[in-house]
Amino acid sequence: TGFVDLRDVQLAYSGHGTETLALDGLTMAVNRGEFAAVVGPSGCGKSTLMKLATGLIRPQAGTVEVAAREVDGPVSIAGMAFQNPSMLPWRTTLQNVMLPLEIVQPHRKRLGRERAAYTQLAEELLSVVGLAGFGAKYPWQLSGGMQQRANLCRALIHDPELLMLDEPFGALDAFTREELWQVMRDLHAEKGFTTILVTHDLREAVFLADRVFVMSARPGRIIVEHEISFPRPRP
Ligand code: ADP
Ligand code: ADP
């Protein structure tokens, strides 16, 4: 059993009198500390898989476990950066990055006393992704790519044990994207969290991941699992 463990999961969306079977018999295990990538055709259920593992939705059949516990609500040890940065326009970038600290226990309790330390961490993270000095700007003053980078900082601010990334680099130009790959690899090696990355980019998957999962077209399930075993430079 993995740190993230989905077994025989079935998930159907219903509405307007129709039913869409998004996942059928999906089984997948990601070990603690591993960097996993999930690839597959558009609509195969990758985002659905991410929502299941973070407890945003529940399966109709099968089991979803994170850290050996059945997922029955939002997974507080997870940091999430999904495709579209959803930053609050009336808060600065720094305040957006710190948002999970106001929501996720136990960080919420600590925020009062440790606001200065957390502010420093937020500024460090912004600097790591190339946004030093942009904390005081509002999200709508940033480009799409810059918002995506800030979104990544927000996913990391509460020191998550599990990092869930759904196409997090899509709005970045090729050069910035490859810089961010290196940043991700360094962060993963340094902090030791478990990562699941959804991507369309096979180069990205192979560069970043220890294990690549390939999904079939809808209804989605894992059809290939491949461990990337060639030696890669570790920071
Ligand atoms: P991917 O991330 O691989 O593109 P998704 O998980 O977003 O795939 O979607 C899987 C399937 O479920 C698709 O056919 C999609 O149209 C359908 N789907 C996703 N979300 C919903 C929803 N809220 N209601 C109905 N169908 C949905
Ligand atoms: P991307 O979407 O890839 O981040 P853009 O082409 O929109 O890039 O912006 C290119 C660069 O212009 C950014 O990386 C940043 O350095 C600068 N830039 C964009 N928006 C702003 C802003 N509001 N203030 C200062 N610099 C900015």
Over 80: is that where the pLDDT of 235 sits? no
Over 90: is that where the pLDDT of 22 sits? yes
Q: How confident is the model at residue 111 (pLDDT cuts 50, 70, 90)?
A: confident
What distance in angstroms lies between residue 162's CA and the mean position of ligand 2's atoms? 29
Contact 115, 107 (CB under 8 A): no
Closest of 199, 220, 217, 221 to residue 208, by C-alpha = 199
Beta bridge mates, 43? none
Peptide bond into 219 cis (omega under 30): yes
- Provide the whole-model pTM: 0.89
Mean pLDDT of 139-167: 95
What distance in angstroms lies between residue 31's CA and the mean position of ligand 1's atoms? 26
Mean pLDDT of 110-129: 93
At residue 27, the 3 state secondary structure works out as strand
* 35 vs 85: which has the higher pLDDT: 35
Contact residues of ligand 2, CB 6 A cut-off: 141-146, 171-173, 176
Q: Which of 6, 13, 50, 199 to mutate to test the pocket of ligand 1 (most atoms within 8 A of CB)?
A: 13
Over 70: is that where the pLDDT of 234 sits? no
Q: For ligand 1, atom 5, name the residue with the nearest CA.
A: 45
Q: What share of the chain is helix, strand, coil (3-state, %, to 5)?
A: 35, 25, 40
ipTM above 0.85, yes or no: no
Over 80: is that where the pLDDT of 233 sits? no
Rg, Å, the chain Cα set:
18
